[in-house]
Amino acid sequence: MGEQTAEQIAHRVVEVGLLDDRQMQAAWGEFGRTDATPDEFLQFLVRRELLTNYQVTRLLNGERGGYFYGDYKVLYLVSAGSFARVYRAVDRRNGRVVAIKLLRRRFADNQEQTEQFVREGEMGRTLRHPNIVPIYEVYSKGANHFLVMEFVEGHNLRDFLKIRKKIDPPEATRMLVDIASGLNYAHGRGVCHRDLKLTNVLVSSRGQARLIDFGLAGGDLEDNEEELETAANPRTIDYAGLERATGVRKDDPRSDIYFLGCIYYYILTGKSPLQETKDRIQRLSRQRYMDVKPIHRIDPDLPRVVALLVNKSMELDADKRYQTLGQMLVDLNIAYKRLLAGGDKQETAADLDSDAGKETVAASDEERNRLTAMLIPEHQRRVLMFVESNIRMQDIFRDGMKRCGYRVLLTSDPQRAIGRLKENAKSADCVIFSSGDIGQSALEAFNEFGQCEETKHIPAVLLLGEKQSGWREHARIDKQHRLIAMPIKLKELRSVLTQLVPPLPGEAAATGAANEN
């Protein structure tokens, strides 16, 4: 390549598709010389941002491929792991900058590995959350298998930690809130991560932590010694080791919680809680998990609330660990608020070896309930239809019920509510008719709703105003259709609604967390 002329190099640039004829002619016109060396001309193209150094290196090495994957032009290599390489690229159709995760060639010929890679990508495409890096496209054809993702300006958490050494508790806890939020969303959709580690967390230039590489739950190694020790790409071997050491089933969601605790421990202290080794037998050893030094012995000056969180998330007994991400996320939010307020300046982790140090993260029941309700995913929230014409009452009810974890539909017309439920009985899980401003038509609609074939199976509540107590004897009530006299506290109304509409599985888990204290 060194003996070629600048004109020949320019022809190669056009030939491989990095620039078209019009762009190249414009570049020559601006360059203004024909006697330049190939290196001089290529560096001019780099300065004009028409080429990148990555592309120039490939051109000088005589490489004819690797400049494009599908509709994406490769700009440069971002990182290279044992399983895949990640490139920064640009979509030729719209100019959007993306990340390309390309399966390495040695795995591309392995059908089992490529199928797992595609499964991972397809699973990841279903996840849309601010703390999860989205996958836009999954490509699998011939020898090329790659994922197209959002490109995040920043570092992975391992590189971030190399610069910072360790992260102060408030910032570390905020990052954990980010990670746990994304993970909680994924768990709510039945997706475990199965490969939580520092390199699978990206920290954007704005400091937001975001997860990558979801969807591995279906592609884990089988639980037998030979496969675990010899598999070509045992990315989840740490999970296999933990689950064997603790006697839980493969794919237990609580394993994600343990390794999230490991990340928290690592970024707070700058030290890995687990012995770092590439030896697979050691990574599978129970002793590796038994030898974890309590975080308060590594840094006794850490705030007590932080050490408590780490200890609970990394309990070796899975039944003593946080049972759901929702539970952990509640405590992380509480801890973050306390750290910002400076409430733990005098409460260090130093005495956690004493009996007095075995408490959990403190919070009032009210605060815990409020935070727990906010964590219920939208698709798991029960739907309440509130029939009320008073705007102020609508606002009070909507805000109060949303804080309790419900989704609220509002209407001022009782007959419209009945009509909607007749057309689609799944529109709401419970209907609340308020007679305060609507008057007798609310009572009539409540009775009609409970008698109509299309709607009588749907729970309903009639709220009677203080001046309407005489209507009680005219209301047709039963176990599914209740009457409540106003005024009533939100807590009492929620108790009735819980009886009428039992929580969904994810909602029940969150409610369980709220009722622990």
Q: What is the per-residue pLDDT for 364?
A: 56
Structure confidence at residue 348 (pLDDT): 75
Residue 312, pLDDT score: 95
What pLDDT shows up at residue 259?
97
Contact assessment for residue 471 and residue 446, using Cβ atoms and an 8 Å cutoff = no
pLDDT at 199 over 90: yes
Please, which residues have CB within 8 angstroms of residue 270's CB and are 6 or more apart in sequence? 161, 165, 166
Q: What is the mean pLDDT of residues 352-366?
A: 56
pLDDT of residue 380: 66
Tokens of 31: 């360059």
Asked if pLDDT for residue 217 goes beyond 60, the answer is: no
Q: Per residue in 66-110, pLDDT tens?
A: 999 999 999 999 998 878 899 999 999 999 999 999 999 888 888
Structure confidence at residue 517 (pLDDT): 35
421-464 pLDDT per residue, tens: 999 998 999 999 999 899 999 999 999 999 999 999 999 999 99
Query: Considering the chain, what percentage of its residues have pLDDT values greater than 70?
Result: 86
Report the pLDDT value the prediction gives residue 487, as an integer from 0 to 100. Answer: 87
HSE at residue 269, side-chain half, CA atoms within 13 A, is 24
Tens of pLDDT along 160-190? 999 999 999 999 999 999 999 999 999 988 8
226 pLDDT exceeds 70?
Answer: no
Q: Give Cα separations from 484 to 238, 387, 452 (angstroms).
A: 54, 14, 21
Question: What does DSSP assign to residue 425?
Answer: G
Arithmetic mean of pLDDT over the chain = 86
Max CA distance (Å), the chain: 102
Yes or no: say if 372 and 322 are a contact pair by the CB < 8 Å rule.
no
- For residue 228, give both structure tokens: 């675990």
Question: 347 in helix, strand or coil?
Answer: coil
29-37 own/partner pairs: CB under 8 Å, 24+ apart: 34/6, 34/7, 36/6, 37/6
8 Å CB contact between 382 and 407: yes
pLDDT digits (tens, 9 = 90+) for 375-391: 666 666 789 999 999 99
pLDDT (tens digit per residue) in 254-298: 999 999 999 999 999 999 999 988 888 888 888 999 999 999 999
Identify the pLDDT of residue 365.
57
Is pLDDT at 203 greater than 50 in this prediction?
A: yes
* Bridge partners, 149 (sequence order): 99, 135
Residue 506 has a pLDDT of 44
C-alpha 383/C-alpha 370 separation (Å) is 18
Section 216-244 average pLDDT:
61
- Structure-model confidence comparison of residues 336 and 3, the more confident one: 336
Q: How many residues does the chain have?
A: 517
CA 154, 156, 157, 160 torsion-angle sign: negative
Shortest CA distance to 448 belongs to which of 418, 468, 490? 418
Nearest-angstrom CA–CA distance, 264 and 249? 24
Element (H, E) at 271: none
Stretch 226-236: mean pLDDT, rounded? Answer: 53
b/e 7-34 (16+ beta carbons within 10 angstroms → b): eebbebbeebebbeeeebeebbeebeee
Name which of 279, 252, 272, 128 is nearest 193 in CA terms.
Answer: 252
Give 156's strand partners: 202
pLDDT of residue 47: 95
Mean pLDDT (whole number) for 234-255: 85
Query: In the 8-state DSSP scheme, what is residue 273?
Result: S
CB 221 within 8 Å of CB 235: no
- DSSP letter for 48, please: T
> Which class for 314: exposed (0-12), middle (13-18), buried (19 or more C-beta within 10 A)?
buried
Q: What is the pLDDT of residue 514?
A: 37
Could you give the domains of the chain? 6-60 (no CATH), 68-150 (3.30.200.20), 155-374 (1.10.510.10), 383-500 (3.40.50.2300)
Closest-CA residue to 490 (of 411, 430, 401, 408): 401
